[in-house]
Amino acid sequence: MTLPHRIEAAEGADRALDGDIAEHLGLVPPWVSKRLNPRWATWSGGRDYWDAPAYTSSIDAALTLVPEGCEWIVEAYTSNGVKAAHVRASAWVSGAPRCFAATPALALCAAALKGSTNG
């Protein structure tokens, strides 16, 4: 499953996904990955070791994934507008298909990554 599809399937903010996004962007060296070094996953205070931005919980952080000058839209749904119980938001970034996810930040992350990779 691709990173954008994993983001769309997430049920909420996820620090592991934040780290995967940062790694995908080249902000975290692959050898520091939690998958390769599980004992380094957290340090005192429970913070993630790489200090990745909170892409999956913050619209502001997710917006940093959208290329400058690119058009984008984020929509949040009420329970009356939901097509499926787990979908509560959608996002569109110019050049990518509309993405649906549990939260607006997740939807925007997925759309931005699909736009940058075309898939």
pLDDT, tens digit, for every residue of 7-27? 999 999 998 888 888 888 877
The pTM of this model reads 0.77
Distances (CA, A) of 69 to 62, 95, 97, 109, 110: 15, 12, 18, 16, 18
The H or E element that residue 6 is part of is helix 3-9
Q: How confident is the model at residue 80 (pLDDT cuts 50, 70, 90)?
A: low
Q: Is the pLDDT of residue 45 over 70?
A: no
> Could you tell me whether strands 89-93 and 72-76 are parallel, antiparallel, or unpaired per DSSP bridges?
antiparallel
Would you identify the CATH topology of the domain 3-117? Bacillus phage protein (3.30.2120)
6 vs 81: which has the higher pLDDT: 6
pLDDT of residue 91: 94
Q: What is the pLDDT of residue 24?
A: 86
Decide if 88 contacts 103 (C-beta within 8 A): yes
The answer to which of 22-36, 42-56, 63-77 has the lowest mean pLDDT is 42-56
Confidence of residue 46 (pLDDT cuts 50, 70, 90): very low
Looking at per-residue pLDDT, the higher value among 29 and 10 belongs to 10
Interior/surface letters 88-98, b for 16+ CB within 10 angstroms, e for the rest: bbbbbbeebee
Residue 113, pLDDT score: 95
